[in-house]
Structure 1
């Protein structure tokens, strides 16, 4: 696409977020289920195949566009953005690694919005400690048999296909971990919704268990010895687009607070005319600009094929903490008005806490920064 074509494309995505996602988001926050029609509308814009090659039905665009789309959609609803990008990521991984038969079986449905996908890593005993997964894959005639449980998985409530990471060797052996393409509608697959103090429906978060689920040989996506390294590389991209999503959420909240401050009058003038009111939002703008700069730098490294471990960690830490701090600033600036369901501030506050946990907690990433920013001399 030319620069003008890309801008037109982004304009259509912004319209979709504004006209379709935002009006539905308040209901999702109260537990309403996302309709499949919403995913089909997103697929018509190519949002489930942004990075998938044109040959396989995708748009063939780069990572930077994915990050921008995530930011735009998260400004309306973080959960829906997470759900959509997870389906996209499954389609992308299948396009890169799956057999022809598996690609033909799943990619068309993922791209046209008829299917959703999920990537399953987290278990009861292994979150950030990915190497400790206990989902078992045992060699069977013509394939593998999987047993175990995955929890807190985006899209697990409705996904038809999952990329499941399982241990083929001894527990804790990183070179024993493999990735499999699993039909979650197969016999032996049982799913459960996962809920919290605020609704998780738009992200489709849930758990699933596999009991003697057979996976054919051609559904082995990443062989033992390759899966662990693959996920560690891909997670830099995930951390960066989550950081971009935090920037989108805060930007949207500051838009709402600014509009409210110009309209709401207090002591004979608008809130925006009170210096003390303006200063808090001005500090938020400064911190948001810094987060956006880190995200831009991390995107450039990822697009350029460089090692983005440090910048992606820095971007996510700063964007999450900025979001957590200044969404509260925006809510305070709007007072009780900010609590109304039609405003994004309160649901973004909840989403920011989820953002702090996914793809590496803040504490885990701080440790990563400590090791990479100024490594000890040999």
Structure 2
């Protein structure tokens, strides 16, 4: 009993430290009970508490974090998909709404009373936010009014308590609020305008500098734009807000690896990368953004390609914010598709720089080109190809 009381006092002191750093209130536990943290962060009701399941030798102890937000009125219930559970549900016809994103649909069980409304709500940015969170917290549960995760132990480290709560508050803001600049940044990424995407994300972060999720989205955009210097600086800033977040730690390791000298592309070398194989390797399944970036840096950056596809958009430029001085032509080309037996296919595009002032291809036109791979965007599932020539 004396050991339990001493342990509980130490836990209460650490939780009090975390609560003070978050601006929250702590309710001390009793002689043998654990403390509880409650309060509001940026108008969101938050809580951290311990609970148990089972009894006797089968008792399991959990730490639960929860952040509430205004109702999104979709009748949403979102949890982790399991292989056996997913198969059983499909066999007996139980409800599991498919969004059309194979990676997301494979990862989550999604229930809603408004499938069309949910499809519109779950933008690419929100899907990535939830997918990344699920990787760290498999117990993730999202409803109309809260996001919640359980950790199977009593968390005693104040850094972990602070980091986890700040991460969840950022996710709650993303789900329960509106951020037009973030969606405009996503639109710019999809069209290959990375400079505009970065400008929009910087604006979003400056409007809410303590929002961990916005900072993670900016970091993801910087990595997709291959802005390694700024990427390192933003990771440094984020580590001060969420020093013990596993996903932030993953970005720190990725920055360190990507800071190594890059191999110079060899213009004379023949094409070495197959579009379908690269698509399967980098975009299939549920992969974290920094994992994809690491794989791209190690095996694809600087490699030559000989790809074909249909033009989605094209424009000439005298100067482009991403490609620099012209004249040139910037073309978005569909070069591959990600197939899935259950969820159909997803198009994969290349943002291609043609450094000449030749004819601008028409939408829908089929073109073939050689060029050098320079960047990948896991969120938008596209590649950047520079120094391209038409074949």
- TM-score band by shorter chain is under 0.3
Larger relative CO (CA 8 A, sep 6+): 1 or 2?
1
More helix per residue: 1
Larger radius of gyration: 2
TM-score normalised per structure 2? 0.25
More strand per residue: 2
